[in-house]
Structure 1
Amino acid sequence: MSVSRRGFVAAATGLGALLALAACGGEPASAPAASAANAAQTSAATPFSYTDDRGKKIDLPKTPTKIVAQVGSAAALWDFGVRPIAVFGPHKLENGKTDPQVGNVDITKVQGLGNVWDEFNVEQYIGLQPELLVSSMYLKDDLWYVPAKSKDTIEKVAPTAGVMLTGRNATEVITKYGELAAKLGANLDAPEITQAKTRYEAALAELEKLAAKGLTIELVSGSPDAMYVSTPEMVPDFKLLSDAGLDIVKPKVDAQGYFEPLSWENADKYKADVVLFDSRTQALGLEEMRKKPTFAKLPAVAKGQIYPMWVETPYSYQKWADQLEELVANLRKASKLP
């Protein structure tokens, strides 16, 4: 088969054309070698059965080892001992370093299928001959970072599993990923997991104690044109803080229900003792936010009681222990403002 990449992308609209290309060469991706743990699963040929948060039941004759995952899911599974062979979503920064959203995943040992929103190399995905795709969900039937234009094709290549984030706190999501990891052969009693869980639980207990300080906390994310004040109820990262007893500003959210957009001129709408800002690479950086006069004059910002929070922190005990320990240390320094 002689098909140019440009011509193929323009013409291929169905799974048949993609599979034909992969079968006949067409520069399919070579799959990274499975880890020793995953290889052991293959030899055991243990049947796999899992019902995801869409209510979709997956039954396979053996436990899948060739797993492709959105970066957040990949990071969670990785820390539980499951090694995906490929990832999609933000995993590499412009300087070539690892994006924090992909956690402890060694990006030199996995195939990257896309690094930004709406980017997913379906041709490479098919070439990997995946056995399972895993992604988180904010909406029940919407796998995070799976492009709508490619969804039907991707769903036909291999079973997909979705883990719901909305309405759960971080502990609940970590537990869900742990359950899936166990189904995939992970040992949840491994020392690195139990030790991290102990750290996580200790930090969470300290956070609950800090709630007694009565600090008011505002959760913000910046863009060049607006500041977004997040509700604590929808995203697991923030719901955990609210469930721990912290007093989180509750904005008047828009129709999507996640945040209230404010012009930078109105960035002082809410008063809080502490501002936690979205420190993801796609959000406006702190120094740029400080250049917005109304934001810079916020009492919490002026006093230096503004701290980073990695939204979409990978849902593992390891990464969340780090997150909570840093947050506890920062909130201990903060005081109520007049």
Structure 2
Amino acid sequence: MSGAQAWGFTDDRGTELGAARVPRRVIAYVRAGAALCDLGVTPVAVYGSGHDGESLDPAKEGGLRAAGVTYLGPGRALDEGRLRELRPDVIVDVTYDGKSPYALDEAVADRIGIPLVALSVGNELTLSAILDRFGALAVSLGAVSQGAVSQEAVSQEAVSRGDAAAAGSSTGLRAAEELLREAAAAGGFAVLALSGAGPGQVHLARPHAWPELARLAELGVRLVDPGPGPGANWLTADWGRAAELRPDLVLFDSRAHATAPDGALSGVRSTPWNPETPPSPAAYARFFRDLAAALAP
């Protein structure tokens, strides 16, 4: 593209996207939209995945509801007429396979002539790389560089208090990571991440398959691997299998479609985990800070 206001961005499928001007009206998958909202780009609307219903999942909303962002329902059932009425300049989704957008059929974007950006959230990238990519997209859409924010001095005390400005910067994330590193070293707890699928079934997370869980391991959190069996990201089993792994702390999927830990895990500490945490420093600083508190002796 040419001209002072031209916009260009290459997404994580290798698709080169461009427009005659910087997109201002952004519609996004809820996870991507919540991240962009944290990073200084407020979408005009967001849509959900096949797991989502007609109301915005509180576990996924981040700052979207407070910012007055419209929720359109599941992406695969999106009303194209409503989408056209919103006059988007760009659509932002995520991809797990590096090929296809996760929550919206790309043909929808093609039919209305809107560029679709898909950023990877799969385990081929580290958490740091994922955050960098969302930061780069936000900057291309007019947000202030997070690098500029990260030059501010941010104390661990401010992060532990939940100071929003501190947690919103890269420095705030690093301080939250240090809090978590200290808590993990002090407690030594065995941590099991899971997603409840009803009274007779649970999905047990394979730590290496999730960028944020891999980062927890790097910070010293002792994550429990569910062992051999089918499934790349999850091992599906009954709740008795989860209890047999003898976790000291359970990270339970807090999304609306998941169920709470079963009675087989009664007496085991638990703390929420959103497997679709918005890829922003602020969101992960909050998660790491909350986990550090849960790991306290």
TM-score of the pair, normalised by structure 1: 0.73
Q: Residue 131 and residue 82 in structure 1: after superposition, are their counterparts in 2 closer, same or farther (change >3 A)?
A: same
Residue correspondence of structure 1 range 220-239 to structure 2 within 5 A: 220-224=194-198, 225-239=200-214
Pair member with larger Rg:
1
Partner of 1:331: 295
Partner letter of residue 75 of structure 1?
A
Q: Deviations over 1:162-181 (max 9, x none)?
A: 11011134333222111100
Instruction: Quote the offset at 1:140 in angstroms.
Output: 1.5
Question: 2:31–2:278: 8 Å Cα contact kept in structure 1?
Answer: yes
Unpaired runs of 5+ residues, structure 2, are: 153-163
Instruction: Quote the offset at 1:318 in angstroms.
Output: 2.0
Partner of 1:82: 41
Partner of 2:143: 186
Matched residue SS, 1:268: helix
Question: 2:57–2:255: 8 Å Cα contact kept in structure 1?
Answer: no
Which moved further from structure 2: 59-68 or 93-102?
93-102
- 1:154 and 2:126 matched: no
Residue correspondence of structure 1 range 215-294 to structure 2 within 5 A: 215-224=189-198, 225-252=200-227, 255-286=230-261, 289-290=262-263
Partner of 1:164: 120
Q: Residue 60 and residue 176 in structure 1: after superposition, are their counterparts in 2 closer, same or farther (change >3 A)?
A: same
Instruction: Quote the offset at 1:319 in angstroms.
Output: 2.0
Partner letter of residue 183 of structure 2?
L
In 1, distance between residues paired with 2:225 and 2:240? 19
In 2, distance between residues paired with 1:97 and 1:86? 11
Question: 2:56–2:71: 8 Å Cα contact kept in structure 1?
Answer: no
Partner letter of residue 307 of structure 1?
T
Instruction: Quote the offset at 1:269 in angstroms.
Output: 3.5
Instruction: Quote the offset at 1:55 in angstroms.
Output: 0.4
In 2, distance between residues paired with 1:279 and 1:53? 28
Instruction: Quote the offset at 1:241 in angstroms.
Output: 0.9
Count residues with an aligned counterpart: 273
Instruction: Quote the offset at 1:124 in angstroms.
Output: 1.0
Q: Residue 279 and residue 171 in structure 1: after superposition, are their counterparts in 2 closer, same or farther (change >3 A)?
A: same
Unpaired runs of 5+ residues, structure 1, are: 1-43, 334-338
Partner of 1:129: 87
In 2, distance between residues paired with 1:169 and 1:223? 27
Question: 2:55–2:71: 8 Å Cα contact kept in structure 1?
Answer: no
- 1:207 and 2:180 matched: yes
Instruction: Quote the offset at 1:278 in angstroms.
Output: 1.1
Which moved further from structure 2: 172-181 or 264-273?
264-273
Q: Deviations over 1:143-195 (max 9, x none)?
A: 1211xxx4323333211111101113433322211110001111023577666
- 1:103 and 2:53 matched: no
In 1, distance between residues paired with 2:136 and 2:165? 13
Partner of 1:19: none
Q: Deviations over 1:26-60 (max 9, x none)?
A: xxxxxxxxxxxxxxxxxx96211111000001121
Matched residue SS, 2:237: strand
Instruction: Quote the offset at 1:275 in angstroms.
Output: 1.6
- 1:141 and 2:113 matched: no
Instruction: Quote the offset at 1:252 in angstroms.
Output: 3.6
Which moved further from structure 2: 93-102 or 182-191?
93-102
Which moved further from structure 2: 54-63 or 118-127?
118-127
Larger RCO, structure (CA 8 Å, separation 6 or more): 2
CA RMSD of aligned residues (A): 2.7
